[in-house]
């Protein structure tokens, strides 16, 4: 009898727990998905409709068990033209999402066409010309860069933009000088400025922010004439704990 009572108590507990989960699921089921669209287009009716429909697929799911990360990842997998800028859950049944149009920044020439990428290094479209679809000016071209490295270099470029306060208006192209067959040779990243100057970051993956900051400080000391030519180099002196230095060469 004791064994039977334990079985009955266990079954009652399981039923109660299941009922509780179902009740919570219904109470916190998503009923409202509010979408704010930040776009460069004059008419975004169609784009807004597509984005809204993609997000409305979450209706009916429990807000308790659905994370913002899941919403972002699911939307991003289906939509290449917009990025989730803000995703916020509002209990008991609402999700607020702000979408921002992905803006062309980079171009890579592959197979006779330019592949365009946004600031995160995500592919957007292909074109026969390196012309930005929004403003008609050239995108920053990656030269000698495999497409697999675009997302990685986009992060470095974002640091450059944050420090120099601009990217597309001042940088014409970004290239890598990599020689893995040469022992001790470190990868060099070149920012080829539209004014004529080259900014070289040695071993760019190491202490990136510090090297770019020192490069900017040195850049600010150059005369207008010096900025028309030559190379500004930022590099580490000594071992991994060495100091970061930046200098300018007219050659």
> How is the chain split into domains, by residue range?
28-101, 104-249
Helix H or strand E segment including 198: strand 198-202
- Specify whether the CB–CB gap between 55 and 47 falls below 8 A: no
Indicate if the pLDDT at residue 106 is higher than 90: yes
Q: Is the pLDDT of residue 161 over 80?
A: yes
Task: State mean pLDDT over 129-144.
Answer: 92
CATH number for the domain running over 104-249: 3.40.50.10960
pLDDT at residue 3 above 90?
no
**What class has domain 28-101?**
alpha beta
Q: Which of 39-43, 98-102, 199-203, 223-227 is predicted with the least confidence, judged by mean pLDDT?
A: 39-43
Query: In Å, what is the CA distance from 27 to each residue of 14, 19, 21?
Result: 20, 12, 10
CA nearest to 31, candidates 90, 99, 98, 72: 90
pTM as predicted: 0.75
Q: Please check whether residue 144 is in contact with residue 176, taking contact to mean a CB–CB distance below 8 angstroms.
A: yes
């Amino acid at each position: 009898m004791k064994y039977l009572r334990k079985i009955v108590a266990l079954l009652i507990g399981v039923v109660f727990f299941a009922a509780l989960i179902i009740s919570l699921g219904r109470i916190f089921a998503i009923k409202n998905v509010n979408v704010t669209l930040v776009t460069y287009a004059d008419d975004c009716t169609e784009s807004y409709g597509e984005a809204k429909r993609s997000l409305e697929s979450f209706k009916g799911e429990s807000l308790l068990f659905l994370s913002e990360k899941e919403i972002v990842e699911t939307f991003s997998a289906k939509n290449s033209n917009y990025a989730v800028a803000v995703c916020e859950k509002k209990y008991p049944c609402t999700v607020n999402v702000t979408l921002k149009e992905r803006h062309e920044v980079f171009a890579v020439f592959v197979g006779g066409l330019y592949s365009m990428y946004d600031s995160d290094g995500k592919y957007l479209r292909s074109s026969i010309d390196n012309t930005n679809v929004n403003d008609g000016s050239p995108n920053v071209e990656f030269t000698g860069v495999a497409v697999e490295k675009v997302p990685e270099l986009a992060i470095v470029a974002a640091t450059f933009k944050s420090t120099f306060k601009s990217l597309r208006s001042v940088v014409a192209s970004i290239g890598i000088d990599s020689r893995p067959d040469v022992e001790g040779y470190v990868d060099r990243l070149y920012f080829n400025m539209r004014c004529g100057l080259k900014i070289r970051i040695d071993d760019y993956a190491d202490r990136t922010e510090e090297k770019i900051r020192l490069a900017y400080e040195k850049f600010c000391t150059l005369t207008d004439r010096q900025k028309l030519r030559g190379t500004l180099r930022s590099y580490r002196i000594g071992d991994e704990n060495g100091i970061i230095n930046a200098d300018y060469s007219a050659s």
